[in-house]
Amino acid sequence: MEYFVGSLATLAILFLSKMLLQKTINQKVPSGISYSQSYLHSIIAPYMLTNSDILNEKQSQASKHLESLYVRIVVVDGAAYWIKNNIFYIADMEGEDVLKETTRQVDTMSMDKVQLEKMMFIIEKLTEGKNHDSRNSG
């Protein structure tokens, strides 16, 4: 008997909610609304994947070998700076050639503030765009 009373109560609630919703459904919906493609795109753009999300740089044996062959060098005030194996190096230059016998590690502990700011600028230039540097103009 308790199931019968519960079923009747459920049916009554469904009937009342249908009557209330029927009144709102019968109201006239404005027909002049139209949206442009660019407006719809601006709405869904935050939820779409970008190319950087889809294209992941894969580390292969060949890409690791190429990274080990090439070194980025910044020339400032007649000295060449580069980073190899997470060590910051400096060497003197003669014309356009780097003198390999003058290669030494940069000691940042004994530098003053101006020299440190110069080294930070050089490090920024050496690591700038490193993730997407394909060594190709195209």
In this predicted model, what pLDDT tens digit does every residue of 12-32 receive, in sequence order?
999 998 888 877 666 665 666
**3-state percent helix, strand, coil for the chain, nearest multiple of 5:** 50, 15, 35
How far, in Å, CA of 60 to CA of 68, rounded?
Answer: 13
pLDDT at 138 over 50: no
Task: Give the burial class of 99: count Cβ atoms within 10 A of its Cβ; 0-12 exposed, 13-18 middle, 19 or more buried.
Answer: exposed
Q: 28 or 115: whose pLDDT is higher?
A: 115
The tokens describing 86, both together, are: 């997470």
Share of the chain above pLDDT 70, in %: 83
38-75 pLDDT, tens digit each:
888 888 988 888 777 677 667 789 888 887 788 888 89
pLDDT greater at residue 26 or residue 10? 10
Q: What is the average pLDDT value for the chain, to the nearest integer?
A: 82
| Total-model pTM | 0.48
**How far apart (Å, rounded) are the C-alpha atoms in residues 90 and 73?**
10
